[in-house]
Chains A and B, each alone.
Chain A
């Protein structure tokens, strides 16, 4: 498989603390890769290493099949990025800010207007960025990341600090991008909900380690249905089920049945009734993706 980004045993240590350890990130071409993890998980540190802003303590980064260490400049020609808070020169106008970067890339002059159009900042092109709202600055940052028509776009928490309408706006903008350029996109976030509608692949990192990496569909299969049954004498009921070889969990007076077919559930209920239990409630409990994400990262925390 051809990976646009591939890291091997990527590690970054600050003093005694490992911010990233043995990270193997694999991003196939054309994907929107949601890079998820709670605060302090090591997302920004990983992204900084992908861009050559930080030297890894150990491990390697390959982008477009080349070693970042050896071929940094050629790789970065085809990468656009926005790391943490947007950077800009407040005393320059939006157009001047982009012009500064455009000159380095050597793209044609009109590209500045094009990207301003894409992020809908054309109206304020000649205003100083000093007075921009956070959402406008964030959009300017994305415009800057698009200047070189990147094949790989890396956005670190692009909706951080935005209000709900700002978040939706950025999300819609990002959704449109792959269709325009056919690029591969990495978006980091600490909220699954922010990217579950746009990401096609997810990588979940916790305490610097990759704990899940696969397509979002695979992650969805983790959102197994479970059925909660509330009965009298729940402990006794649960034992009788166990005795018959039926797997279930006892949770504060309720029996939790995970991943059972309709027939199995029907048989279990019939069994309980025949054994003289009163059934108070039978409820379906579907875990959301967010729950899975939280559970995955929480499990890692406990270890």
Chain B
């Protein structure tokens, strides 16, 4: 059943611009580096011994922000599909459990975000090759800087999905989303415990993996709470 529901969710996101945004995100992130390196490549190459790593660090400075923004936009689009004509009541009156409805939507979002991260890896790699940054490509870091911020952002995904699916007033998830985007942009100055900081992979121990594991754990918890709450609530 869950496979069928995922297929259905994929049908529903047609013509909504969701696929476009999924591709646009990573293009945007790399495009900024294209501008950056076109304007001042010589200067940037002087900054570090390891040009690849420096390039990846530059790219990754914008990634957390792009991921949070992407999550906010995608969850809100996803919710709008059902909210627009209150199709929730039609969907929930079908012979399927509310848990699987929630899970199928979460899975589709997860798939889109993973696709985005994969595209980011590929685009970053291709532009890096084009810049001719050296023989040895740091594949591990390439992967790390594309996927770690996403894993660390799972709590934000869980929260946005939950709030946008259960709110009658879509102003609430949008406001939380906007605040989250601003916070993620100010990652340097906000405390470690705020989930919007985690995708930046910064913490007082200087260990990015802490953010990843925390992100996965808290993300899972928030997903679970959201699903239980969605199940419990009356359909509008």
A residues near B (Cβ < 8 Å) are: 48, 51-55, 72-77, 79, 81, 83-92, 96, 99-101, 103-106, 144
Contact = CB atoms under 8 A, between A and B. Distances in A.
Interface in B3-19: 4-5, 7-8, 11-12, 14-16
Contacts of A85: 85-86
Contact of A87 (B5, B11, B85): B85
A89 B87 contact: yes
Contacts of A92: 11-12, 14-15
Given A87-B86, A91-B15, A103 B95 contact: no
Given A54-B234, A103-B7, A104-B4, A89 B94 contact: no
Which residue, B8, B90, B92, has most C-beta atoms of chain A within 10 A? B90
Contacts of B87: 87-89
A100 B11 contact: yes
Interface string B9-50: 001101110000000000000000000000000000000000
Instruction: Return the 7 tightest CB-CB contacts between A and B, nearest first.
Output: A87-B87, A87-B90, A76-B95, A53-B235, A54-B234, A77-B95, A51-B93
Contacts of B91: 87
B85 A89 contact: yes
A104 B96 CA distance: 8
A103 B85 contact: no
B234 A104 contact: no
Given A53-B89, A91-B16, A101 B84 contact: no
Contacts, number: 81
B178 interface: no
A92 B81 CA distance: 11
Contacts of A74: 95
Contacts of B167: none
Given A54-B235, A88-B87, A103-B4, A83 B14 contact: no
Nearest to A106: B4
Given A54-B235, A144-B90, A89 B12 contact: yes
Contacts of A84: 86, 89
B97 interface: yes
Contacts of B12: 89, 92, 100
